[in-house]
Amino acid sequence: MTGAAYNEALSDASLISCSHCDLLQRLPQLSPGGSARCPRCDKELWRRRDDSLNRTLALALGAALLYVVANAVPMLGLTIVGRSASTTVLGGVQTLWQDGQGMVAALVLFTVVIAPALQIGLMLGIVAGALRASPPRWVGKLLRHYPTTRTWSMIEVMMLGVLIALVKIADYATVIPGVALFVLGALVFVLAAMQAGFDAREVWEKIEWADGTRHMRPRGPLPKGTA
């Protein structure tokens, strides 16, 4: 990136401002499981997690496995007067595409196939990098894009939609829930647990700085002249 010069970091790393109301405040030291909220707008500023990196790695690996299975096997099937049909997640996208709904097909593909894959993949990369003794800068590059993938990854919304579609279709035909439906149900919970156990602040505090000045910066005031 080009443009402005690097800012100067404050000498006290525990000073922050609230992302929802800009109030300056000092983040307290928290015990695992403790959380800090903004006194003015009640935004959760930080929730410290116990053994965050190892747990997140385990859940991300589990999510990756479930993701692969969920996309490989049929999700829904039906039988009606001797005829049967079934579809996968990608089958839904394909039908939209063939019916001339290219834009909607692309949106569905992005929200239930691409974004979840990126979410899981980035998380694996972030945690694997952050578990190193000195996390390199690329961990930060992955971490900065992670929230976007999380916003647009909508597996839980799709699950609700598929269940409603099942009930609708049950009026006309016998519906057969496929293996992928159950796997996706599990994936929703594993992804939620992965997200809940991840502590981004912990990773940011370990990372190599973009301006190349510091690495593994300790919390609290640095000796004068180093900041």
Partner 1 sequence: MGGRDSAYEAAGTAAKGDGVSPGAADATPFPTAMQEGLHSCEVCGLLSRPAPGEEEGRCPRCDEELVFRKRASIQRTWAFLIAAAVCYVPANLLPVLSTTTATGTETDTILQGVILLWSPTGWPLSLIVLVASIMIPSAKILALGYLLVSAQRGSVQNSRQRVRLYRMVEFIGRWSMVDVFVDTFTAALIQLQPLMSVSPAPGLLFFAAVVVLTMLAVESFDPRLIWDATIPKEVVYG
Residues 48, 203: Cα–Cα separation, whole Å: 12
Q: According to CB under 8 A, which one of 51, 54, 136, 151 is a site residue for partner 1?
A: 151
Could you give the C-alpha distances from 71 to 35, 63, 105, 130, 172, in angstroms and in order? 36, 12, 16, 29, 26
Q: Based on CB atoms, which residue is closest to partner 1, 58 or 161?
A: 161
- Cβ atoms of residues 101 and 83 within 8 Å: no
Q: According to CB under 8 A, which one of 58, 169, 186, 188 is a site residue for partner 1?
A: 169
**Contact between 114 and partner 1 per CB under 8 A:** no
* Contacts to partner 1 from residues 56-95, by CB under 8 A: 75-78, 80-81, 83, 85-87, 91-95
Stretch that binds partner 1, among 1-9, 50-58, 114-122, 185-193 (CB under 8 A): 1-9
Q: Nearest approach, Cβ of 19 to partner 1 (angstroms)?
A: 7
DSSP state of 219: S
Q: Based on CB atoms, which residue is closest to partner 1, 61 or 201?
A: 201
- Cβ atoms of residues 55 and 197 within 8 Å: yes
Residues 96, 106: Cα–Cα separation, whole Å: 9
Q: Nearest approach, Cβ of 177 to partner 1 (angstroms)?
A: 12
Residues 166, 173: Cα–Cα separation, whole Å: 10
Q: According to CB under 8 A, which one of 111, 124, 177, 202 is a site residue for partner 1?
A: 111
x/- mask, partner 1, residues 177-206, rule CB under 8 A, reads: -----------------------xx--x--
Bridge partner list, 87: 76
